[in-house]
């Protein structure tokens, strides 16, 4: 039974990862079927769908048989999945670092590089916006504070939460992490906002500077 027929007859949960990817890939190319291309993609990532989800269109296109259009379709599929996951926690209320982790973990889960985000909070603790500020590393020099506070004023934020990730899984809080946090905390005090926490995401968990008494 072909994957599309199996999807209709038995439901999507009955399909293997390779069959689901084959549906996305479509008709294949000259010399390679959709199943063969899907198998090659899974070989490239050692069978990891999470790894595929984190791949850029350029990296996907480096896999034999995957062109730019197919790479974009695969990327769009995983982005839809991430957005659907966020909707399950639509406008959550932030009271603890665990709440921060739950709210932003779908964005951080598949990253193999550092990103810096800000959660903007209403006085009730409700998330007004998730704002990605920078990619490629966390440092005071890399952060455009104007971007953060312009958005905070526009949204009427009462507080913000800083978030960035350690893809390596490092549990250490660096001096640069602390310095950048202190600079933003000082700016918050000057401009009338509250810095609620700085949460560092690691695979499967988090570090809260507020909980560690470093805020």
* Chain segment 27-65, per-residue pLDDT in tens: 878 788 999 999 999 999 999 998 999 898 999 999 999
- The helix or strand, by DSSP H or E, that contains position 165, with its residue range, turns out to be strand 159-165
- The helix or strand, by DSSP H or E, that contains position 86, with its residue range, turns out to be helix 68-87
* Chain segment 177-208, per-residue pLDDT in tens: 899 999 999 999 999 999 999 999 998 899 99
Using the predicted structure, report yes or no on whether residue 147 has a pLDDT greater than 80.
yes
* Chain segment 90-143, per-residue pLDDT in tens: 667 899 999 999 999 988 888 888 899 999 999 999 999 999 998 876 655 568
* Chain segment 14-34, per-residue pLDDT in tens: 889 999 999 999 887 878 899
Mean pLDDT lowest among 6-10, 96-100, 156-160: 6-10
b vs e for 114-137, b when ≥16 Cβ sit within 10 Å of the residue's Cβ? bbbbbbbbbeeeebbebbebbeee
pTM as predicted: 0.61
Parallel/antiparallel/unpaired status of strands 115-121 and 159-165: antiparallel
Angle at 106 between CA 101 and CA 111, to 5 degrees: 100
In angstroms, the CA 170 to CA 213 distance is 19
Sheet containing strand 159-165, edge to edge, reads 127-135, 115-121, 159-165, 194-202, 205-208
Secondary structure class of 197 (helix, strand, coil): strand
């Amino acid at each position: 039974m072909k994957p599309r027929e199996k999807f209709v007859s038995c439901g999507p949960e009955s399909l293997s990862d390779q069959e689901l990817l084959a549906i996305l890939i479509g008709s294949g190319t000259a010399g390679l079927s959709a199943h063969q291309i899907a198998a090659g993609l899974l070989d490239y990532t050692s069978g990891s769908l999470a790894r595929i989800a984190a791949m850029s269109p350029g990296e996907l296109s480096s896999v034999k048989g995957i062109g730019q259009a197919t790479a974009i379709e695969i990327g769009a599929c995983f982005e839809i999945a991430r957005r659907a996951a966020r909707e399950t926690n639509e406008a959550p209320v932030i009271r603890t670092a665990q709440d921060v982790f739950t709210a932003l973990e779908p964005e951080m889960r598949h990253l193999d590089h550092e990103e810096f985000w800000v959660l903007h909070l209403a006085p009730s603790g409700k998330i007004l916006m998730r704002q990605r500020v920078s990619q490629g590393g966390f440092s005071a020099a890399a952060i455009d504070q104007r971007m953060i506070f312009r958005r905070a004023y526009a949204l009427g934020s009462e507080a913000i939460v800083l978030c960035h990730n350690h893809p390596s899984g490092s549990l250490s809080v660096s001096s640069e992490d602390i310095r950048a946090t202190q600079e933003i905390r000082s700016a918050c005090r000057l401009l009338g906002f509250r810095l609620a926490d700085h949460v560092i995401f690691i695979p499967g968990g988090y570090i809260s500077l507020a909980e560690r008494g470093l805020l």
